[in-house]
Structure 1
Amino acid sequence: MEIGQSNAVEQQAVERRLVPTQRHLIDGRFTDSLDGTTFCTLDPTTNRPLAEVADGKSADVDAAVNAARRAFDEGIWPRLSVAERAKTLRRIANLLRIHADELIELEVRDIGMPIAQMHGLAARAAENFDYYAGVITELHGRSFQVGDQFLNYTVHKPVGVAGLIMPWNAPLMLSTWRIAPALAAGNTIVLKPAEWSPLTATRLAELLGQAGLPDGVFNLVHGSGEGAGAPLSRHPGVNLICFTGETATGSTIIAAGAPTLKRSSVELGGKSPVVVFADADPGLAVDAAVAQIFTMNGQRCTAGSRLLVERPLYDRVVGAIAERARNIRVGDPFDKRTELGPLIHPEHYERVLGYIASAREEGATILAGGDRPEHLPDGNYLKATVIGDVTETMRVFSEEIFGPVLVATPFDGEDEAIRLANATQYGLAAYVWTNDIRRAHRVAHAIDTGMCWINSQNVRDLRTPFGGVKASGIGREGGDYAFEFYCDVEIVHVALGMHPIPRLGLAGPDQEE
């Protein structure tokens, strides 16, 4: 029996369950678009319609921002004690755990994520709220004593209205990772989810209301980047813009916010190198490389998508990865055995296939995959793909593919490894495999990247900063680093003694000293 058929009864039950129209949430009420328009989102396993979605435009964004503005300027949320906000965040976390199965089903249907991988992402969504409920209660300022004359101290204050424009590859987890610190700090929110993945955002909005979040504190506007994302980016009532997605779009968003001096945090593209030296443990390196590129359907910003292997180990490592890739189970994302589901959308599917075609045309070798699985004629399915003989002049070496496609290049020595690792506009993540601890640190420091793992795949500690350099973004989120973005820091100067103050204007205008 082919994978994807073994769970047919369960999948048929899922298909019979209709997905209701996805509506905006504005000032505590679910509503259609003001002009009444909708768009259709697709099931990535079939490309058949999955749900109708309210198509937000400038007027809907304006209503949502005005609601968030009132909730911030006049409402109770920014004025609650930190402990009270933390209680609400913990209620949200509890509701996410109670409704985890429902959220998992919605996200699997929406983006095609294998259900075995979705459980961990759903758990992270709840952890995000619990974590920031704890961090905000421990957030503290600094004090600066100047002898017995002054005591200076800092306080953290919410900034205002946060516009969050989120991606489609892991919408529930990535949205909650931004929503949680924004709310913990006392801000209000307008969320614009990706138009290709709207389902969990609507359900999350319902759960936030059930948790007791006051009306207007969290608002949701569906729609396209041009229709809803652009007006949110330039809206004068928005103080913060957080965006995750493609680099060119991030640049446009920053430019749109510049006239009103919006604070921006943008996490953009990546082409992360996996650097394997000849003294590395090849078994562990193969395991990590396979997991890092083929989980999440290859659609992850920190994917180790460029495999750089020192020449003595190149054939062994690349051959083993290609063999493993040929055995990756591609199929129905609701089947618990599935390891690789469909890509998100036919437009993106064609883009990824275009990169594979360019690799063939430029002389690279397709070692595994490269086309559709024979038993899956519908939907956006692609075999796990490994491309060898890739040189740094090829498009697939330096451009982000954002799919289950690994490109492999040999290197000779540490200097060339560093040069190749840096031969891209991106700098989000990197992975270094070596048993020489001194070299591991040297190479990690020399790679232009925001994050580097040594002898590990991507294992995240929520306390640590997350973000990239170069074309991979601006800013850091995660841990208390997030509050550098979601809070303003005010310094308060307190005079303790009678310090000297210059006395001007004591002489009359016609008097000489």
Structure 2
Amino acid sequence: MPSTEPPAAPPTEPARHRRPADLPDRIRHYIDGSHVESIDGDTFDVLDPVTNQTYVRAAAGKKADVDAAVAAARRAFDEGPWPRMLPRARSRILHRVADIVESRDARLAELESFDSGLPITQALGQARRAAENFRFFADLVVAQADDAYKVPGRQINYVNRKPIGVAGLITPWNTPFMLESWKLGPALATGNTVVLKPAEFTPLSASLWAGIFEEAGLPTGVFNLVHGFGEAAGDALVTHPRVPLISFTGESSTGQMIFANAAPHLKGLSMELGGKSPAVVFADADLDAAIDATIFGVFSLNGERCTAGSRILVQRQVYDEFVERYAAQARRVVVGPPHEASTEVGALVHPEHYDKVMGYIEIGKTEGRLVAGGGRPEGFGTGNYVAPTVFADVAPDARIFQEEIFGPVVAITPFDTDDEALALANGVRYGLAAYVWTNDLRRAHSFSQAVEAGMVWLNSNNVRDLRTPFGGVKASGLGHEGGYRSIDFYTHQQAVHVTLGEGHNPTFGKARTPTVTDVAAVADE
């Protein structure tokens, strides 16, 4: 018998939004083991991406706050135990950090999802990856072996690695907790002390590091945290004379400013910047796999990912089929509240970024054929929600082909030949990642070696061993991190030369004719 009950009303937007319990009443800096306000008392609003309402105020750091943090980090480096501990001792503490992160992964994911708008399932994966980053570098610093060379009968030359000092770490707002761990792990494992300046859009998860490190037993002053805006706190860190190296992840334009501002101080720089990565689909590719991977590659993490394959280049023989199937699948991607397990695309991080992405969508409507999305999804009247958007027939000089959008927006362009595909793939200022889909092994390797990208995936999507280098070319970055490249960046590599037995030194200033042996010794230097 059919029910006479009226159908349930769809949930209202407030009912579909979940605010975590026990949110802080204020987010403060963490300097020399204490949570402190800004010296001038200044704060800024932190917004919830679903409502765009202020949910907390954070301390707004300036030069004075950075000075205090750097002074604490420098004292800990010069006088504290951390740089002088054996690698195994530091490793034990970093493994405890990983244990704590793993034990709190659900809470970390809840806060990260709330603060950034990331879908909860993806935020959970990022929290677990943060723990893995600490485990990896804790193990690597113990297993590390350095070069040693023996000049027979004359010398032993070996490499001695030493921590550099205070590392300035500037991190972005997309997957903030995981990307903070990607820098904190190697910087601390190698014996440096740090000052972290997280993105102002997402300070919540960064504020959790202080308690984690205290519980793990990290000495006071080794980790310091200053919140604030890039032009104030970030620039003060970049230009501070007692911060010898800066690791930055963010926009290419910001990276250019950091490069210029750091140059007078001759700082070590590692910068992972923007991307406009191509995914190249040849006619012989497995289209099912290519479509699944390229959908995930641009719409996961709300499209706010530096390695997103946001330009899809498709060989003309399969172009129409690909576009039709891709658009249909993109329209089925689930947009929803970040806290819901079924959500695949949540809310963009901030109204400023939402406006930027929506502006590019309007530009795209004049530059390509809209086949999916194109605006705010139905049923979401508020919040920073964008429907997964697909443009086809996009010309290579279009802005949506050339410029980084950093949202759930993709441009699809046809090509005929391998040479044309390569020209299209390389025809932008960026060079972070590239994805190649083909069953022709020779083509796959030839194309991957010719494409201008720091990382290439062949018939795969963004699965990366932590031992491999991460970084880009052209406007996508300067330097590489990952594995031993991170160890290289965060350490001085000092060459030590030891003479075996009785040494022979060139002799100047004595009344005799130089010998062939003297000349050879000078030439060896």
TM-score, L = length of structure 2: 0.94
1:4 touches 1:332 (CA, 8 Å); kept in 2? no
Distance 1:10 1:306 in 2: 33
For 2:454, which of 450, 453, 474 is the aligned residue? 450
Paired residue secondary structure (1:241): strand
Matched, 1:492 2:500: no
Match of 2:436 in 1: 432
Match of 1:72 in 2: 77
1:114 touches 1:339 (CA, 8 Å); kept in 2? yes
Matched, 1:351 2:368: no
Shift of 1:493: 0.3
Shift of 1:505: 3.5
Distance 1:51 1:242 in 2: 28
Distance 1:180-1:54 versus aligned 2 partners, 3 A rule: same
Match of 2:257 in 1: 252
Match of 1:311 in 2: 316
Shift of 1:78: 0.2
1:149 touches 1:497 (CA, 8 Å); kept in 2? yes
Match of 1:165 in 2: 170
Match of 2:468 in 1: 464
1:21-36 correspondence to structure 2 within 5 Å: 21-36=26-41
The letter for the 1-side match of 2:312 is L
Match of 1:511 in 2: none
Once the two structures are superposed, residues 249-298 of structure 1 have per-residue CA deviations (whole angstroms, 9 ceiling, x without a partner) of 00111111111110000000000000000000000000000000000000
2:20 touches 2:111 (CA, 8 Å); kept in 1? no
Distance 1:15 1:402 in 2: 27
Gaps of 5+ in 2: 1-6, 513-525
The letter for the 1-side match of 2:75 is R
Match of 2:235 in 1: 230
Once the two structures are superposed, residues 169-213 of structure 1 have per-residue CA deviations (whole angstroms, 9 ceiling, x without a partner) of 010000101100000000000000000000011011211111111
The letter for the 2-side match of 1:220 is L
Distance 1:125 1:214 in 2: 21
Shift of 1:108: 0.5
Distance 1:316 1:374 in 2: 27
Distance 1:15 1:133 in 2: 32
Larger mean CA deviation between 294-303 and 497-506 belongs to: 497-506
Shift of 1:504: 3.1
1:170-181 correspondence to structure 2 within 5 Å: 170-181=175-186
Paired residue secondary structure (1:65): helix
Shift of 1:54: 0.3
Q: Tell me how many residue pairs correspond in the alignment.
A: 506
Distance 2:341 2:9 in 1: 10
Match of 1:323 in 2: 328
2:169 touches 2:194 (CA, 8 Å); kept in 1? yes
Paired residue secondary structure (1:70): helix
1:142-221 correspondence to structure 2 within 5 Å: 142-221=147-226
Distance 1:296 1:111 in 2: 10
Once the two structures are superposed, residues 120-176 of structure 1 have per-residue CA deviations (whole angstroms, 9 ceiling, x without a partner) of 111100001111111000111111111111011111111111000000001000010
Q: CA RMSD in A?
A: 1.7
TM-score, L = length of structure 1: 0.96
For 1:379, which of 373, 376, 383 is the aligned residue? 383
Distance 2:100 2:362 in 1: 46
Distance 1:391-1:237 versus aligned 2 partners, 3 A rule: same
Shift of 1:4: 9.6
Distance 2:362 2:421 in 1: 26
Distance 1:456 1:152 in 2: 42
Match of 2:112 in 1: 107
2:281 touches 2:437 (CA, 8 Å); kept in 1? yes
1:4 touches 1:331 (CA, 8 Å); kept in 2? no
Distance 1:96 1:7 in 2: 32
Distance 2:56 2:393 in 1: 43
Distance 2:146 2:455 in 1: 27
2:20 touches 2:114 (CA, 8 Å); kept in 1? no
Larger mean CA deviation between 280-289 and 315-324 belongs to: 315-324
Distance 1:269 1:316 in 2: 30
1:36 touches 1:54 (CA, 8 Å); kept in 2? yes
Distance 1:7-1:81 versus aligned 2 partners, 3 A rule: farther
Shift of 1:63: 0.3
The letter for the 2-side match of 1:373 is P
2:108 touches 2:124 (CA, 8 Å); kept in 1? no
Matched, 1:367 2:371: yes
For 1:286, which of 291, 302, 306 is the aligned residue? 291
Shift of 1:11: 4.4
Distance 1:347-1:162 versus aligned 2 partners, 3 A rule: same
Matched, 1:406 2:398: no
Distance 1:16-1:175 versus aligned 2 partners, 3 A rule: closer
Paired residue secondary structure (1:151): strand
Distance 2:459 2:160 in 1: 39
Matched, 1:55 2:60: yes
Distance 1:4-1:130 versus aligned 2 partners, 3 A rule: farther
Gaps of 5+ in 1: 509-513
1:7 touches 1:334 (CA, 8 Å); kept in 2? no
Distance 1:3-1:417 versus aligned 2 partners, 3 A rule: farther
1:297 touches 1:404 (CA, 8 Å); kept in 2? yes
Match of 2:99 in 1: 94
Larger mean CA deviation between 2-11 and 425-434 belongs to: 2-11
Distance 1:8 1:84 in 2: 49
1:299 touches 1:402 (CA, 8 Å); kept in 2? yes
1:6 touches 1:335 (CA, 8 Å); kept in 2? no
The letter for the 2-side match of 1:319 is E
1:122-133 correspondence to structure 2 within 5 Å: 122-133=127-138
Paired residue secondary structure (1:199): coil
Distance 1:236-1:3 versus aligned 2 partners, 3 A rule: farther
Distance 2:15 2:351 in 1: 26
Shift of 1:499: 2.9
